[in-house]
Chain A
Amino acid sequence: MAVCVETAAAELRDVYNSGKTRTYEWRVSQLKAMLKIAIHHEKELIEALNSDLGKHEHEAFLHEIAAVRSACRMALKQLHRWMKPEKVKTSMTTFPSSAEIVSEPFGVVLVISTWNYPILLSLEPVIAAISAGNAVVLKPSEVASATSSTMSKLLGQYMDVSAVKVVEGGIPETSALLEQKWDKIFYTGNSKVGRVVLAAAAKHLTPVILELGGKCPAIVDSDINLTVAARRIISGKWGCNSGQTCVSPDYMITTKDYAAKLVDALSSELERFYGKDPVNSKDMSKIINSRHFERLSKLLDEEKVSGKIVIGGQRDKANLKIAPTVILDAPEDSLIMNEEIFGPLLPIITVNNIKDGINLITSKEKPLAAYIFTNDKKLKEEFVQRVSAGGIGVNEVTLHLAEDTLPFGGVGESGMGSYHGKFSFDAFSHKKPVLYRGFNGEISARYPPYTPRKLKFLKAVLSGDIIGIIRALLGW
């Protein structure tokens, strides 16, 4: 396998160096090909998602297929504009001159994807890499094996395989890929592997984007439209791959007085969404595999937690389903409060004063997203200013991802770099500044032999002090 990877990387480099992927025409042809895959093979892709994740067709369409089509269409529409150099003003210090910033591809890039949104998180970065003119290798997650092989087959059929390759496999293949030199690496996954990717990239000084995760908190204030809030929380938690989503609310914070109301609201809305027997609901994804199922079971079975389940808790090991489960006041030192849950379990932590919630959040690692439900303007302002996270949602969860004018990415433990919309194109481009000078307006003060008069002149030029420049020129 190591030989294959090396050969593939070398092939891509030759193709990239030929300049093929840099033309507008090539990029458009590839984006159109990708769009064809997302339109004509929708059924096949949805079936693969159902096979890997038990993802309902509607959720699969909403979160994966439609988003990929949207990304292709936006890139096709905007590419001309994105590719144009950006004219930039110059100042007195370099007068006379003109300048621009030219976007150029990095070269040959590696996209490592993950299993929870295996289509979206594979194809959206690949679309970004292609629109920026790079040659690309995609390594889909082996954990979502049906989608991995479906994507491999379809990309092999539709895309220019000399410049867009898929390498399937597990840890050995990923390690072999990371040994190679890439011009950029885009990784989506967990922070443990994120560190491995960054360390491997360090050997070649490769810049990296890491889309990681974290414990995304949601504060629920009192005096709000609790029904609407509950629905939004449920759709962002259990409606998103059964909570196996990097931006799902991981845990909630509310006041001791309000907790009962919140639990009631969640309980009744959950029943509306998933019925009385949610473990068997077809509208919720299953847990990806038995390893994660065991991991989540362990979180629930911990002695200090098991007695605090207030909603759900039912499990179906054979079908890898866990019912929407809410836990009230799990202790700070419990497992469930110390690792990213990534599943359909939702702890609610109660505090005396809702503001304590902000302190609790800022005492932990920076998450990929943080949410607050409130009508209190001051509380909202304080939350937005003080809580550092990849992104913030006010009275909403996860929706900020759908907005292409907002960059999507983490900070601290939740990652580095961002994408979506034009940020995707920028993520895979080197922004090269170009300065044009003529031969007029020579400033001899730049050159030796140095004199005090030259020093005066330089001081004036560097401060943009026109009077000073005139005085220096006149010898005053």
Chain B
Amino acid sequence: MRDQSIPANKNKNCAFITKCSITKSGTISLSFFSASEMEDFLGLRRAFRAGKTRGIEWRMGQLRALLKLVAENEARFFEALEQDLGKHPVEAYRDEIGVIKKSADHALLNIKKWMAPKKGNLPLLLFPARAEVLPEPLGTVLIFGSWNFPISLTLDPLVGAISAGNTVVVKPSELAPACSSLICQTIPLYLDREAIRVVEGGSDVADKLLQQQWDKIFFTGSPRVGRIIMAAAAKHLTPVTLELGGKCPVILDSFTESDLKVVMKRIVGGKWGPCAGQACIGIDYLLVQQKQAPHLIESLKACIKKFYGDNVKSLQSICRIVNKNHFDRLCSLLEEPSVAASVVYGGSLDRENLVIEPTILLDPPVDSPIMTDEIFGPLLPIITLDKIEDSIDFINARPKPLALYAFTHNNKLKDQILQETSSGSVTFNDTMIQFICDSLPFGGVGQSGFGRYHGKYSFDTFSHEKAVLHRSFYLELEPRYPPWNDFKLEFIRLAYNFEYVGLLLLLLGLRRRYTSSRGH
């Protein structure tokens, strides 16, 4: 048997996990390196310990290199996204390439400020002293990307990890193989190989990675896998950020005809625009007052036809479903007779090309899977209510979503939504766009996850904020030390209330001391 290390994608800097053994008969068997053989992980730890990634020059250099990677390979990224998801270049730029460029630019502009220690205010009692909070990298971190935005959801966390000064292992999703392969090929050519590695593979590779110790794990994906990641992280007390999903609702109040045109574009664009509905913050279902439903459906149909056309064989500018598994999953959501009967538009399926027509359903049963599971596809249920305020109870009866959208001019309703519902985020009168607002944290709550990133939050999520208190040897406070007596207790009482005048009087012997049985 001849052993050969043959990387899965012909790039010898990636995919070191897989080792091929060629037997006498010529068949190839695959085996994994054992933990002790994963020298590269130790190399990342060594590079971190040596302080390689901590200086601002290294971090900025890597961010610039990432920008160069994205700029110089834009056409190849468009091709890979077309191959994996049928994503149009405009959508690909808007949701993937452009996002990385924006994030890296933002980080370069702000990193010096982010890295600076934050001064703390100290009370006079501790004079002379100085307090600060110093951000420091966590160490060697692991990032799991996702398949629906295989570039941005893999590389955007990487921007955060690099700006915070960590060494990184990135595992792109195997369900978007062309993008995974392209990331694996390009990263070693532009970024520091001693500090940033890419590992390709499926759930078996992920399991092996999870057995290692990491200083942080950043995961984007489903709640089911999120639980597995967190349970594995628990063994090493590894902090995690889980960016999950949920059923993101849209509350649709009534509108004037001219506003309605814009509302329709934003809803249609927010449902089928991002990866044909396969998006964690994509619209899952609509809530509307019953009498609005007919007009709403007609308006939606008109907008869909305008954006995408109406023939499933020739739909324009819309992604396809990622693979047959997900295609079949979505089909099964439509199978139940009462659900099938509620389809009012679309429903055509093209299994060969993995395309599902934009589909609208009116009032499918609320206990059917299409209304209990996250749809993650181009099916849009509309649920009608007696009055729009009922949408609050409807949403609260379900797990907290990653995003909540509401189209309304009614300020009272807005307040009610903010105070009475809980979600990762709330956006009024638009959809999806909170994703590119760098001053807002992006993350979930409850079943939609915990932790957050984007902008400075990306830097923070990969940092430890270390508290530092500097004191000098002067101005000793004797009452801190035993042996204890009443004077010292009185001193401490006054000190805790910052009663400086009282303290001064006490020290000058001008203040009566209380006995310890009297509290105040």
Contacts and interface: CB of A to CB of B under 8 A. Distances in A.
B327 interface: no
Contacts of A57: 484, 489, 516
A433 B434 contact: yes
Contacts, number: 290
A151 to B, nearest CB: 17
B120 A405 contact: yes
A93 B438 CA distance: 9
Interface in A52-106: 56-59, 61-62, 66-67, 69-70, 88-91, 93-94, 97, 99, 101-102, 104, 106
Contacts of A438: 429
Nearest to B317: A448
A403 B470 CA distance: 12
Interface in B219-270: 223, 226-227, 230-231, 233-235, 237, 239, 242, 244, 259, 262-263, 265, 268-269
A379 to B, nearest CB: 13
Contacts of B438: 91, 93
Nearest to B430: A437
Contacts of A194: 237
B131 A462 contact: no
A231 interface: yes
A362 B49 contact: yes
A439 interface: yes
Contact of A239 (B102, B133, B262, B482): B482
A473 interface: no
B312 to A, nearest CB: 16
Given A406-B120, A435-B428, A56 B469 contact: no
Interface string B106-137: 00000000000000111100100101011010
B230 A434 contact: no
Contacts of A405: 120-122, 131
Interface residues on B, range: 35 or more
Contact of A439 (B49, B429, B452, B468): B429
Interface string B312-328: 00001110000000000
A91 B455 CA distance: 12
Interface stretch (A166-174, A221-229, A256-264, A306-314): A221-229
Contacts of A435: 425-428, 430, 433-434, 437, 440
A432 B468 contact: no
B90 to A, nearest CB: 4
Nearest to B519: A42
Interface residues of A, number: 109
B396 interface: yes
A160 interface: no
B294 interface: no
Contacts of A276: none
A442 B473 contact: no
B519 A39 contact: yes
B480 interface: yes
10 contacts: A22-B419, A39-B519, A212-B237, A388-B139, A391-B466, A403-B120, A433-B434, A438-B429, A448-B307, A463-B98
B157 interface: no
A142 interface: no
A224 B473 contact: yes
A393 B175 CA distance: 48
Interface string A369-395: 000000100001000101011111111
Given A395-B472, A435-B428, A435-B437, A19 B126 contact: no
B120 A99 contact: no
Nearest to B244: A205
A122 B318 CA distance: 54
A147 to B, nearest CB: 17
The 7 closest A-B pairs by CB, nearest first: A448-B317, A450-B90, A202-B230, A198-B234, A433-B440, A406-B467, A400-B469
Contact of B488 (A22, A58, A191): A58
Given A198-B234, A231-B476, A463-B105, A447 B273 contact: yes
Contacts of A69: 496
A250 interface: no
Label chain B's interface by main secondary structure: mixed
B423 interface: yes
Nearest to B117: A384
B396 A17 contact: yes
B471 interface: yes
Contacts of B316: 448-449
B450 A205 contact: yes
B422 interface: yes
Nearest to A207: B450
B441 interface: yes
Given A228-B473, A235-B481, A455 B90 contact: yes
Interface stretch (A124-132, A287-295, A336-344, A411-419): A411-419
Contact of A400 (B131, B134, B317, B424): B131
A415 B466 contact: no
Contacts of B466: 388-392, 411
B190 interface: no
A292 B318 CA distance: 66
Contact of A274 (B223, B447, B482): B482
A88 B263 CA distance: 25
A364 interface: no
Interface string A3-27: 0000000000000010100100000
A119 B218 CA distance: 35
A395 B473 contact: yes
Nearest to B429: A437
A394 B439 contact: no
A448 B318 CA distance: 8
Nearest to A67: B496
A463 B102 contact: yes
Given A195-B237, A202-B227, A235-B481, 17 more contacts: A58-B489, A89-B439, A107-B422, A183-B446, A194-B237, A198-B233, A202-B230, A205-B223, A231-B476, A388-B136, A405-B131, A407-B465, A437-B433, A442-B265, A448-B273, A448-B318, A463-B98
Nearest to B258: A439
Given A205-B226, A207-B450, A407 B133 contact: yes
B426 A432 contact: yes
A43 interface: yes
A31 B101 CA distance: 47
B345 interface: no
B237 A439 contact: no
A432 B428 CA distance: 13
Contact of A394 (B136, B269, B469): B469
B172 interface: no
Interface string A266-288: 00000001110000000110000
Given A69-B496, A205-B226, A412 B439 contact: no
Contacts of A239: 481-482
Contacts of B480: 235
Contact of A403 (B122, B226, B262, B464): B122
Contacts of B465: 407, 418
Nearest to B102: A462
A186 to B, nearest CB: 14
Contacts of A407: 133, 465, 467
Interface string A199-240: 101110101001010000000000011001101001100010
A383 B109 CA distance: 29
B433 A195 contact: no
A94 B230 CA distance: 34
B237 A191 contact: yes
Contact of A94 (B259, B424, B433): B433
Contact of B427 (A388, A434, A439): A434
A192 to B, nearest CB: 10
B437 A396 contact: no
A453 B138 CA distance: 43
Contacts of A275: 483
B235 A195 contact: yes
A396 B469 contact: yes
A205 B436 contact: no
Contact of A273 (B101, B471, B481, B492): B481
